[in-house]
Structure formats: C-alpha cells, structure tokens
Structure 1
C-alpha cells in the first residue's frame, strides 16, 4: 500500500520548526541542559546521531563519564508525550526486574527548558549496533546480511539474544497493553498498547485507527480481533489505500480472511498469557560493546503482548523484514539456515536456565521456576513453541499482525496459504457489499489524485 503523501507532507512544517530549534541549540545550550542533571558539572557535546524516531547527542564530562541525550522527533513519533511515557514503563521494569543489559536511565521529562519537548538521558554504551556490524552496506537502510560474519561472534550474539527472549518469557502480566511508568507503581498495565503499526498508519497514512487511552485487552483473542479491525479501518479510511478496482477487492478480501483465520491461531493454553514484547526488536536497537556484551538500547514500542508473539522466530535474523525476502533469490533458504543455528543455541540456553531454576530459591519465590518446569517437555518449551510457530504458520500470521503498508504483500500471503486451512474462496462477502466498497474507494482515490496533483503544483511554485 502506498503512503498518503498529502498526510506525510502535512507534518513537514511542524517538524521543520522543531528541527530548526534543535539545530540552534547544539553545543553550549544542550551541554548546559545536560550538566544540570550532574550538579552542573561541565560537559561537552561530542556528536549527533539521527535514528528513525529520535535525535541522539553524546556528551562527555571531564572525568570520562559519558551520557546520551535523546529527543524523539515530533511528527515522526505521532503521540509524542504518550509514547515516551509508554517506553519508560518497560525500561524501568527491565532495569529493576531483569538481568537484561540496557543503559541506565539518568533523567527524563515530558518537557524541557529549551522547548524541545520530551527527553531522556541514559548512560552511553560504547560499541556498534548490530546492523552496522552485520550489514553488507552499512549506509544502505535496506541492505542485507553480510556473508562473512564471524561465526564465533554470531554465536555469542545469538546466545545473548536467546537469553533476552527467555528472560522476557519468564515475566507475566495480567492484561495486554502499556506498562505504567510511575515510580510508585511501575509494573501495572494501564492502557491499550501504543504500537509501531499505529504510529506509522497515523504518520504516513493519515489514519488514527485506535484510541490508545482505552482500557487494556483481557485476552489474546480480544486483542487479535481488534488488530483485525485496525487492518480494515486502515484500508477504509486512507484515501489512496488502493491502486485500482482489482486491488481494492483483493485487499478487502485479505482483511476479512485475516479475521476469519484468527480463531485458528489462538491457543487455549496461551489465550491469557501475556509478556513483554517489542515491535522494534531488531539489530539496529542492539549495541555490541568491545567486550562482546550485547545491550538493548532502544525500547520504543514495547508493551505487554500475547505470549505467542514473543516466541515467534526472530524476524531480524536476515536484518530485513520477511516481506523483503522474496526480492532476493535464496533469502528464504538462508533464513532457515540462520534459524537452525539460532534455535540450537536457544535450546541449549533454555535447558541451562531450566536446570538452574530447579535449585534457584529466588526463582521459586517469584513463581518462575515452577511455571517453567511445567513446560520441560520439548513440545511446550519456549524453544519448542518457536519451532512449532515456524512449522504451523503462526510465524507468518504474526507478520500480518505487525505489518501495515505491506500487509498485502503477495509473498506473505503465499506462506499463509501453505499453512492455513482457509483461503479467499472461503470468505463470504455479499456481492453488494464488495461492489459498494470498491466504488467508494475508487471515488476516494480520484479525489486523492486531484488533491495530490494540486499539492505538487503548489510545491513546484514555491520552489520556482
């Protein structure tokens, strides 16, 4: 699905104003702002990095201490203050309740003295992000995996990622949604999740398809049915969500097929099992330091989610989302090779953790050991569930949960077709309903094209 370029352009003026202010404050003003969180000790700005959603600046103090100041970018992050709040909850939880390496939180605020908005300061982790280490071309965002990755380093990384996933799997929540970030109660799920998908649909689709302030979801079924409605709302509300009449029919049927197949992907055992999950769990958000220790540095779009999403095979093993795999011959085969390597390590690490849990009194006290020992059989272990997810097609269904503009990717649906007992021919949509939808969307598309042409003409005049 194409982006709504009119909606995307509508954010430019606001972002440009913010960016101009941000640029004007580089150097002494930002350094002074940071120094006040360390008794006004002088510091110096070292560098600026721009990510997908944040500007990050490095600062150094005279004694060698280094911090990272991060400002989320307005109009890149659509629900600015709320998103920062919803990242801080999981951040605090992981720092306090797990052994996962993530930078310590120094300070944060929903506004600053400089007029730049919400911010966070963390300790600086020295090293390189995994994507820069492993990409074929580190300057190309969609570059693929290098073929000459050191196998020993790969094993070290895989082992640490395996333990991160296993650690997350041991922590349970009672509902699906965002974690509170309040100091007094940092562990409660207080509202619906604010997902990366919701942000992107609003940012480049111009569609607000959920109220993230409503109550959390009580079951996996409730949540997945809601995601199905989100998919349909996106198609209905974005003016240029179709290319032509045939495309409109295909996309409408796909969304109804997703809704129809959802019950078959919900297990009774895990319908009420929720754990921490990150939509943006990918190589660019992990830093490997000089001691080959892995740090999870960016926890945006993290929330309590259905357990089934956590044990889905890692989609980042090739550094590219699965909808890109069909573009290069052999990528699917390469994924299977990487998955087998990762899965073997996961089995080893899980076995080690389970053996340790048997004699870990602290684990017994918080109920983790007892819970995990119930699933000692390979069939119900985390690693067993991950393999099953790939074999029975849950992996591909989980991709559809997270996709927005690539939801209709033919490669993804071809994989779904191989595992699902349902097909488009099983979806019963009244002919009148489908024809009405197509006619309505074609009219909207024509309106959009006229408006888009007018926008282009105005832009050309402004540049002349």
Structure 2
C-alpha cells in the first residue's frame, strides 16, 4: 500500500501553518523555555536556527557560561500523538540514564507552549554517526572497513545494553512512587504513520498495556486490518488486489495468535527508530557520545529484540529493493559481520561478569533469519511493507503451497462475510477520492 496522498497533503498543510506560528515567536520562545528549565543565574544569550527532522524541530540555546541546551518541538502534522510521545520519551530517557550505561541527553524540563508540547534537554557534543558513514559506505555489502566495523561495534554495545533490563508487561514505562513499571500502551512509530498517512482515527488503537506477547501481536494484526479498512486513497489497485490484501491480513492474524515462544516474558525495551542517524560520535574511533530520539521506545515482546537489526545496511526498510530476495543478498554478509562483532562483545562481557550466557543476542539474531522471526516482526512493525513481506516470506512458510483461492478455505465465515463487504467499499472509495476527517482542528492540536 502507498501513502494516502490526501492525508499526507493535509498533514503538510498543518505543519506549514504551525511552523509559521513557531517562527513568529522565535527566537524569544526557545530562549524563554530554555531559561525556565535551566537552574542558575547564567543568562541565555544565543539560539541557533531550527533544524527540522522527520517528526521534530530543534534548536540549540547557549548560555553565557557556555552551557548549551536543546529545545525540541514535536511537529504538528507529522507527529500525531505529540503529548503522549513526549511524555513517553521523557520517561525512557530518565530510565536509561538511571539504569543503563547508554549515554542519553539529560531532560531539563518539559511543558506546553501555545501550539503543543516541548522538551528541553542537555546538548551532546558530537557528529551524527550516519554522516561519518557516508564517505565509507560501499555498494558491495561484503566489503568492510574500519569505519563500518567501528560503527557496528558501537551499535552492538547499544543494542546489547538496551536488551538487559527486563519487564513483565508490554507497554510504556512510567515511574510511580519511585518505582519503574509498565503501565501504558506501547506507542509505536507505525501507529504514528497509520494516522499520519493512513488516516486511521487515533482512538481506534488499543489503550492498554499487554501481559502476553501474543496478545500484543494480535493488536498489531488488528492494526493491519484497520489500515485496509480506513485508508481511502492509494490503498488498493482493483478488486483482486483488495481481496489479496484482506486475505493476507486475516492469515497474519492467525499466525499472530500463537507466534511467540516467550509469550509471558520477560520483555525488553525496544526502540523503533534506533539507527546510526540517531547516534552521536567523536574521534577517529567513533566513540559513542550520545544516543538521541527515543520517542518510539517501549517494552516489547522478546522477538523484537531477538530479530536481526533492520538498519545494518544503513538505510530505511522503505528504501530496500522491491524484490526482498535481492535485499537479502546485500543484507546477509553485513549481518554476518555484525554478529561476529556482537559475539565478541558478549564473550568479553560474560568474562567480565557484566552479563550472563542467557542474555546473548547473537545466536538468536542469527536464528531470526532462519525461523522467520525477522520477517514476522518487520511485517508487524511496518504496515506499508506488510504485503510484500507477507507474500514473500510468511505465507508459504505457515500455510504451504497453494493459490490465493486456496487460502479462502482458511478464513472463518465472519472473515469471508467481511471480505464480501470490504471489496465494494474499497472500490467505491477509489472513485470518491476524498479524505475523511476524524478530528476537529482543536482536537488535532491537543493530541
């Protein structure tokens, strides 16, 4: 499925209007916010121009004593759960700072301005790891060099450290009465995209945390069906395409019912957007100075942690080849290099007694390519890649050989009845070419 172009255009319209309001109040606004949350007598004297990312706009405020703070604003129109994601990210950064060795920004404060939430945090000196990589990437993934190996080593340390805290529920971290616990739903990057460019009503998602992995996988499978139901434009090509997409989502739901072998946990922290472009480094050895952008981090089923990292080729999954088997040709040698580095780090940490044998990830990540965990988890997390992944790697593995019509026998009567309803509905939407509004402007701003 492609993005709903009308939903994307609406989001861009909101963003431009919001950005103009932000510009009118700057630089006074970021100077004021940074000063409010930085204790001491030093005065804020300078502010940089805004840097625009995928979901946030940031600027750096410098104080007269040399201290620097980052003021970050979630972008209206691109971030669709701005208040919730800001609250979640603050909790995660504070947890990581207290409970792990991962260097993260210090949260100085947070609040709301006239058009949404903001965070003020400490500035971390360093260069983006992705920028340092640009001149070292090779078109041949079998090749490696000191920059690539240093990158993989630094990322392996982060992934391993993130996996060590364990929890008994799937969801978002909160601190209550001095105790960290999972109390809220997992807010994911995919949920943001389903609302932003799929136009799913925000209140269609589950509101609770989950006590089993399969329960959460069922929620992710339900999101796939909601996506097909609600996205009006650029969703299906014709009746046959619609039927194929619906059948895939029903069968994925069957797989999700009993997918996890660690159904009751323990569960681990997982960051949807952890990748080299969110890591700050310094020096020729690419020492990790800080890791940023923790907004879509939550406690997830163990399978997410055990899946091989999607970022190993230093590009987003959406930029992979349409033929995913060609992607595998490039990905497999890079994964081999990463796993050898990860295993050496695990060996050393076990020897130093900073982890135990059961906490190893390297073997499980290697197995994830063989047992399908990698592809199931990616399909669960990436709605706009779902169909290609399902038909390439999951359908035959779980249901054997057969034509599309053969798969109809695997659907329940209710699913078959719904199929006969959804096909004419989607065909009607194709002709209407309009966008359905689910929120008022004020609700949109407050979300």
Scaled by the length of structure 2, the TM-score of the pair is: 0.86
After TM superposition, give the deviation of residue 344 of structure 1 in Å: 0.3
Asked if structure 2 preserves the Cα contact closer than 8 Å seen for 1:92 and 1:181, the reply is: no
Query: Deviation of residue 158 (structure 1)?
Result: 1.6
Q: 2:153 aligned with 1:159, yes or no?
A: yes
Map of 2:363 onto structure 1: 384
Q: Once structures 1 and 2 are overlaid, which stretch shifts more, 428-437 or 161-170?
A: 428-437
Which of 303, 308, 311 is 1:313 aligned to?
308
Partner of 1:414: 392
Corresponding residue for residue 60 of structure 2 = 58
SS for the counterpart of 2:232 is coil
Q: Determine whether 1:226 maps to 2:219.
A: yes
**Structure-2 separation of matches of 1:75 and 1:213:** 22
Alignment-derived partner of residue 446 in structure 1 = 431
Aligned CA distance change for structure 1 residues 145 and 313 (closer, same or farther; 3 Å): farther
Correspondence 1:172-251 to 2 at 5 A: 172-180=166-174, 184-185=177-178, 187-208=180-201, 214-240=207-233, 241-251=235-245
Conservation of the 8 A alpha-carbon contact between 1:134 and 1:146: no
Q: Match of 2:320, SS?
A: helix
2:275–2:314: 8 Å Cα contact kept in structure 1?
Answer: yes
SS of the residue 1:316 aligns to: coil
The verdict on how the C-alpha distance between 1:432 and 1:78 changes in structure 2, with shifts beyond 3 A counting, is closer
Mapping of 1:267-416 within 5 angstroms?
267=261, 269-290=262-283, 292-294=286-288, 295-322=290-317, 324-327=319-322, 331-357=327-353, 372-373=356-357, 375=358, 381-409=360-388, 413-416=391-394
Aligned residue pair count: 421
Change (3 A) 1:355 1:232: same
Gapped runs of 5+ residues in structure 2? 436-447
Is residue 119 of structure 1 aligned with residue 121 of structure 2?
no
Tell me how far 1:302 sits from its aligned partner: 0.4
Unaligned runs of at least 5 residues, structure 1: 138-143, 361-368, 453-464
**2:95 partner SS:** helix
Q: Distance in 1 between matches of 2:417 and 2:167?
A: 44
User: What secondary structure does 1:10 align onto?
Assistant: helix
- For 1:303-335, what per-residue CA distance to the aligned partner results, in whole angstroms no more than 9, with x for missing partners? 010011012111001122445432489542221
CA RMSD between the two structures: 2.7
Distance 1:58 1:406, change over 3 A: same
TM-score (norm 1): 0.83
How far off is 1:156 after superposition? Answer: 2.3
Instruction: Give the CA deviation at 1:66.
Output: 1.9
Change in CA separation of 1:302 and 1:56 when aligned onto 2, cut-off 3 Å: same
